[in-house]
A and B are shown apart, each in its own frame.
Chain A
């Protein structure tokens, strides 16, 4: 049911991913019935609680058996299932254009994840939105449920060009404030930001009761840093170039990277962010499958 053929969407992978529903880890506040738990009482078959009758309640929901036993009026309430609002945040800063030889660029990888995630959400009736961010929010498509909206999202993803500096922390704060209801916020970025600053952003999103998931994209060469000859590194986000002797600096690079990843790992645990580190040499199906399966285990609490 794809609107048009997209290079970053693979129907076979989508069909395999569609077998696992996209679940929220927390209760969502949708406006229609859906497959996600809601914080409100509804008309599902799952009993929730008894509460005292107040005038105005539907008399059909009175539990007459309870009245018979206690001589008091109780209303029997059931859990409500609703849809979710999925907001995909894609980092389109200059650093996302990086791709080492033979590997997919980070922006392309982000497109694949974002598009697939949007498709899965739309398929199960959830509202999907997209925010392309760099120095600011470049493109912001609010979450909607229509099939035509999915086309808009996919078109936007297709046209997204990586450029500019990263101002991810400020943008995440802005997004946390602008999404009105609880939502599943999926951030796809290389997160080249100080983890201590990111911690504040994640806490902000969690404070707004959003279910935050993060796909941390890293190129294999960024992890291994296997340069031999002297290299003049130019900053893809417009910073000062740096001339280094790789053999001299490699160990310290790895030390800095390790420290960064360790700090980030600690922060995502502390802020309950559904964090997925992704090496772009890996097929995007796998991290997505891990993401989806992980969510089925911890279905949202109300």
Chain B
């Protein structure tokens, strides 16, 4: 049991007051000489046990009444999970609010969403604890949102759910900064979340920094994790994978790929058929998808496009796929846009004709008939003359860029452009884009265990390991791996860089890397430590690997070209939505919150389909062990929040009031004088 006003407990010694009064009263006796002692002796012998018991009961009831009065004024709370929260509560509470789409799941029993329920319960709890001011952090807004009273949180329009996947470590980082800057006293940090791994990002490197930061604070910070991740009824989600405008036998068609996933409340999955509604430019069609297990994927579903069903004509348009309603309406719709594919423009910066030739072969041959590919070769000094808006990929085979070149390339990368770097013949000390070449190294093929078994030139070193699960060297759609192991590498250029190794000759010698931007975020900078030159490798002669890798990076880069974008909420392009109009989506969303919500938005230049992050659909939760390791030595507790309770804690002063009244009534009954025996005063 905890108390909101624990200092009132200092008055507990007052419990002894009735006993002290009793003892003082006993000391204030008068001495009377008495003749009729025989009656007194008889009376004292009569029911002495009961009298003593009654006297003790009266004292007990009086002490109990005083104790209950003190407890009543101390405002006791009934909750074992809140710990010593009440005794250490401050007037300010920090709330980290998960407003991700999964928080829109309806709670069984109450009908409210998890977010609404959490706000309601948290508001009641903070009000009960006497918190005056609430500071709310969420992923959508950089600055904290301050409320003068906990009740104001519930109805505030800025705290409704959105399509943005939460970033709990990021919010903690900002909360730490707030505590430091504002020099708050002891503070309670409430984290309201449904414990999705996508929101908690347990592998994020910022957790360690956050943990250390909070531990080093002079004041005590206590974390209360309100776990809203309780199992609910079955939920289905739909997510668009791709939407392409293709030329088919019937004419122009829309090729759609989408995925349906379901999270099971309890029990084994049962096969069911889900009618998926597809809306393209206002025209609706339904396709039934058989869902046998936890997920189903529909690839290349063709819809014939006609000029009547799209305002923008055959070249450009938008649509959505929707599955029937369930417990979470936020993941039942996914939006897409399509347009006539733009030409994939590649810029090669190199002065080596053989390398240029090899790369041009890879960039000029289109993988699809409808896509045009073109390549332009320039010197590094001619970068200013390039129309960067049309460029999808820059292949850089020169000294690392400096000055204006670096500036242009950085801007290009920031806008979603892709850059593939090859080492120059004689690398200098220049460091740019997070890398620095350190010198060529000829590889000793005999040291490689599988060198002889590899096809082709058995004397060349082979790629020892590569990532076949994603990105440039990932398996093909039918699951076949790329023949990376057949590549022969004669020499590689060593480098200093931080990034993700996609292929490597050994642990120390990477072959292909993706350079990480600040905060471990992905960006479009790839570096290959050898060249397609015959002198360096068999990348050109065994060209399939290089062709696929370059086409993949080219496809990624081409997404920034054209007037349509399919993005996830929170990507940099979302900033463009401040001046957009909504073409599809939740009409109740405020215009200044378009960037945080799913839907189709139209700007002056772009048609943008914005969807939630794919991880939102997985339903993977943070395990208790992971949560424990995330908080480490911090003072934290986890509270599982149900749907029915109005508040996480309840004041139980009423019980003490009732007990006090009962004690007073019992005391009054015990003190009530008995019907007196009428003395025989009459004579004879």
Interface residues, chain A, with chain B CB atoms under 8 Å away: 94-98, 106, 190, 192, 194, 219-220, 222-225, 227, 229-237, 239, 241-245, 247-258, 260-262, 275-279, 282, 287, 290
- B521: chain A residues within 8 A (beta carbon): none
**Docked CA distance A242–B29 (Å):** 12
**B37: interface (CB < 8 Å):** yes
- B447: chain A residues within 8 A (beta carbon): none
Do residues A95 and B35 form an inter-chain contact, with CB atoms below 8 A? yes
Convert B590-605 into 0s and 1s, putting 1 for each residue whose CB lies closer than 8 angstroms to a CB of A: 0000000000000000
Complex: chain B residue closest to A93, CB-CB = B35
**B438: interface (CB < 8 Å):** no
A28 to chain B, nearest CB (A): 25
A8 to chain B, nearest CB (A): 20
- Of B270-278, B642-650, B674-682, the one contacting chain A is B674-682
**Docked CA distance A223–B30 (Å):** 19
**Docked CA distance A276–B682 (Å):** 11
19 contacts between A and B (CB under 8 A): A94-B35, A98-B35, A190-B35, A223-B679, A223-B680, A229-B28, A232-B30, A235-B34, A235-B37, A237-B37, A244-B40, A247-B673, A252-B44, A253-B40, A254-B679, A256-B38, A257-B36, A260-B38, A262-B680
**B683: interface (CB < 8 Å):** yes
**Docked CA distance A21–B684 (Å):** 22
Do residues B51 and A227 form an inter-chain contact, with CB atoms below 8 A? no
Number of interface residues of B (CB under 8 A): 34
Convert B9-21 into 0s and 1s, putting 1 for each residue whose CB lies closer than 8 angstroms to a CB of A: 0000000000000
Do residues A278 and B683 form an inter-chain contact, with CB atoms below 8 A? yes
- A232: chain B residues within 8 A (beta carbon): 29-32
Convert B24-51 into 0s and 1s, putting 1 for each residue whose CB lies closer than 8 angstroms to a CB of A: 0110111111111111111110110001
- A248: chain B residues within 8 A (beta carbon): 51, 55
- B675: chain A residues within 8 A (beta carbon): 251
B40 to chain A, nearest CB (A): 5
**Docked CA distance A249–B55 (Å):** 12
- A282: chain B residues within 8 A (beta carbon): 683
Do residues B33 and A242 form an inter-chain contact, with CB atoms below 8 A? no
- Given the known interface contacts A242-B44, A277-B683, A278-B683, the answer about A253 and B39 at a Cβ–Cβ threshold of 8 Å is yes
Do residues B42 and A256 form an inter-chain contact, with CB atoms below 8 A? yes
- Given the known interface contacts A250-B676, A255-B46, the answer about A230 and B25 at a Cβ–Cβ threshold of 8 Å is yes
Do residues B30 and A106 form an inter-chain contact, with CB atoms below 8 A? no
**Docked CA distance A236–B31 (Å):** 12
**Docked CA distance A256–B119 (Å):** 71
Q: In the complex, which of the residues A256, A258, A279 has the most CB atoms of chain B within 10 Å of its own CB atom?
A: A256
- A279: chain B residues within 8 A (beta carbon): 681, 683
Do residues B677 and A258 form an inter-chain contact, with CB atoms below 8 A? yes
Partner of A249, one of B33, B43, B681: B43
- A95: chain B residues within 8 A (beta carbon): 35-36
In the complex, given contacts A229-B30, A256-B43, what are 7 additional A-B residue pairs having Cβ atoms less than 8 angstroms apart?
A94-B35, A192-B35, A224-B679, A233-B34, A252-B46, A260-B38, A277-B684
- B679: chain A residues within 8 A (beta carbon): 223-225, 254, 257-258
B16 to chain A, nearest CB (A): 20
Partner of A254, one of B25, B29, B37, B676: B676
**Docked CA distance A222–B35 (Å):** 8
Do residues A242 and B674 form an inter-chain contact, with CB atoms below 8 A? no
Partner of B29, one of A220, A222, A230, A237: A230
- Given the known interface contacts A244-B40, A254-B678, A255-B46, the answer about A236 and B34 at a Cβ–Cβ threshold of 8 Å is yes
Do residues B47 and A252 form an inter-chain contact, with CB atoms below 8 A? yes
Q: Which of B144-201 contact A (CB under 8 A)?
A: none
Complex: chain B residue closest to A230, CB-CB = B29
- A235: chain B residues within 8 A (beta carbon): 34, 37
Do residues B40 and A239 form an inter-chain contact, with CB atoms below 8 A? no
B563 to chain A, nearest CB (A): 99
Do residues A255 and B681 form an inter-chain contact, with CB atoms below 8 A? no
